Structure 1
């Protein structure tokens, strides 16, 4: 039997059609190229269970066709980013009274391009043209990027179907912040929560009850000292849950662990929280709303130090410049990176329809002195809100040091952060480093601090005459 006997619409292999007898387990990159090429071009169909040259139908049993579909989905999920939208259709037929199936994979042209095929951590971009799949040219990659530079992760459709019963957390959250009003399906539909075919968007999926994917990952840590080079981490919690539960979990984490104090007046006592709850809530909402969900393998980072709270979200301000560090929070204007997520949070009355909500944070700290003023800094990789601890009398310490980001150091000391900051832009002598951080140039300092950082790759060394110089390894340590 030939494929033309099953359908009259089949054509020779061309820009939008290809055939595979089965998915090659030993060379899965070969057929993944086709999927990526279709997604980067005009879309297409891949028929599985059909010989590519003869168009002879091979087919699968009911059990085998299900295994083939699962294998296809697993490899696409693992190796293609962003995941192209596909629809899988089983074509049933009978031969000698035996039931058989072929698979037709419909691949849509991706609204976000290029779709990247990654194997062994090596990325590659492919394009479908003239019936073949080849590496994309520089000009094609450039055109794809320009055409989709304003695309947003959360508006892209998924294969999951909307069911109101799957969003009880969201419905309860909406009622809680809107005087027990009911969140209607019509209101959700108008926001792009799901489309005319009832397919959920990426943003909607992150609100679903029971969601535990990596896209909403948040790590919350409490450090004993003033930086990540402190002697120990007191607590570390990791959350992977829907957006509503994420908000609640992070708020609870901070509220339960922050300090409290009292100020006595002539007539009363005033309770002071380390971090105003309203400021904390606004900071968390902002981090979740403006996070770059395209960045796989990243997470929102919430770090509590002795003098401050830092809330850091992946991605710079959307369509905004890198602002460095600023105390003027009200001057920050950030366009929405995630239309669906932001619209839902606005409807839930926990986010401003315009702006970032930083005005409320500034208001909560309006009576604080200069050492207790919140600030924000942004790079091309992330943006971070810093809330000073109002119960820490001297305010934020070591403010002249660079804000660094690096993985935890084995056998770390309280001096590591200062050393790496001081040596970040210039190579330094051991004696100068010791003087800068306020300790003696002792054998302890050279062996336990400098040598430990060198041995683990955080510091690089060079020798001039008989003197060793130390410089921070910027492959291991980044400025926040």
Structure 2
């Protein structure tokens, strides 16, 4: 395979991705061998109930959401079921208590999250918030908090990492690294069209969805928008606190 001016032997995962692309398929639309009635969707239904959306009650509901087909779950369904069907839906989270990765174990903290994407989102966001500093300013009537990273910015970055991740990379995972001066979220899979985000205007990037079924569900849950404005919103959330940077390589996407 060739990226820019470099050539390398295609990996198993890249060959699989090329096959999907050639057939105009996405990973989340592929059928699994998991029977639809072996899955429950209590967590997803709790989100639906809160938003007043019709809950999943039977097979036809799953089919209408593209979470099942031909009596089995799609990968999207497996990723959103309560059970941990897809083992490589992993997030590794590390608080380094330093400016770079180091062997210093003082204050270092690690955790791993897997299984249901909504549970992963919740746990990942909680980890970042627990390891971040919060300054505050008192006024005559209230206390105003100024966290290192606004909650909405954290959620937006995590949702994008989970929804647009390249799940064809079976032996990789999303990495969250919290350093003294920055937060990095690294997601397997570069830009869908192999471009480099650092060479583009982030305010004018065309929306391209790697996993459209997942994107649709998270959009229904008001956790992301279909029109692809996530990067713009992250700039808005962070413009008053710190400089936001993005970088992509052929195989990974970095937010920090």
Q: Give the CA deviation at 1:258.
A: 1.1
Corresponding residue SS for 1:324: helix
| CA gap 1:149/1:234 in 2 versus in 1, 3 angstroms | farther
- Stretches of structure 1 that go unaligned for 5 or more consecutive residues are 1-80, 83-112, 116-143, 387-480
In 2, are the aligned partners of 1:221 and 1:302 still within 8 Å (CA)? yes
In 2, are the aligned partners of 1:223 and 1:305 still within 8 Å (CA)? yes
In 2, are the aligned partners of 1:173 and 1:244 still within 8 Å (CA)? no
Corresponding residue for residue 182 of structure 1: 54
Alignment equivalent of 1:261, drawn from 116, 135, 142: 135
1:273 and 2:147 matched: yes
Deviations 1:195-254 (A, max 9, x none): 2x2221112111111216432111000011111136336101011221111111101111
Deviations 1:245-301 (A, max 9, x none): 111110111122211112356876421111100000011100000000001110000
* Number of positions where the alignment pairs a residue of Structure 1 with one of Structure 2: 242
| CA gap 1:282/1:167 in 2 versus in 1, 3 angstroms | same
Mean CA deviation greater in 183-192 or 221-230: 183-192
Q: Give the CA deviation at 1:334.
A: 3.9
Q: Give the CA deviation at 1:183.
A: 2.5
| CA gap 1:114/1:318 in 2 versus in 1, 3 angstroms | closer
**TM-score normalised according to structure 2 size:** 0.83
1:381 and 2:251 matched: yes
In 1, are the aligned partners of 2:39 and 2:81 still within 8 Å (CA)? no
Corresponding residue for residue 214 of structure 2: 341
Corresponding residue for residue 214 of structure 1: 87
- Cα distance in 1, alignment partners of residues 204 and 124 from structure 2: 26
Alignment equivalent of 1:199, drawn from 72, 93, 96: 72
Deviations 1:380-437 (A, max 9, x none): 1100111xxxxxxxxxxxxxxxxxxxxxxxxxxxxxxxxxxxxxxxxxxxxxxxxxxx
- Cα distance in 2, alignment partners of residues 260 and 254 from structure 1: 12
- Cα distance in 1, alignment partners of residues 205 and 182 from structure 2: 21
Corresponding residue for residue 229 of structure 1: 102
Higher strand share: 1
Q: Give the CA deviation at 1:194.
A: 1.2
Structure with the greater relative contact order (CA < 8 A, sep ≥ 6): 1 or 2? 2
**TM-score normalised according to structure 1 size:** 0.46
Corresponding residue for residue 154 of structure 1: 28
Corresponding residue SS for 1:166: coil
The Cα RMSD (Å) is 2.8
Q: Give the CA deviation at 1:318.
A: 1.1
In 2, are the aligned partners of 1:157 and 1:199 still within 8 Å (CA)? yes
Larger Rg: 1
- Stretches of structure 2 that go unaligned for 5 or more consecutive residues are 1-11
Corresponding residue SS for 1:224: coil
Deviations 1:102-151 (A, max 9, x none): xxxxxxxxxxx966xxxxxxxxxxxxxxxxxxxxxxxxxxxx85972643
- Cα distance in 2, alignment partners of residues 325 and 350 from structure 1: 27
Corresponding residue SS for 2:128: helix
- Cα distance in 1, alignment partners of residues 247 and 236 from structure 2: 19
1:297 and 2:171 matched: yes
Q: Give the CA deviation at 1:172.
A: 1.0
Matched ranges for 1:242-261 at <5 A: 242-261=116-135
Corresponding residue SS for 1:192: coil
- Cα distance in 1, alignment partners of residues 214 and 121 from structure 2: 13
- Cα distance in 2, alignment partners of residues 175 and 164 from structure 1: 22
Corresponding residue for residue 39 of structure 1: none
- Cα distance in 2, alignment partners of residues 325 and 285 from structure 1: 23
Higher helix share: 2
- Cα distance in 2, alignment partners of residues 303 and 147 from structure 1: 31
Q: Give the CA deviation at 1:306.
A: 0.8
Matched ranges for 1:120-135 at <5 A: none
Corresponding residue SS for 1:271: strand
Matched ranges for 1:286-325 at <5 A: 286-324=160-198
In 2, are the aligned partners of 1:329 and 1:375 still within 8 Å (CA)? no
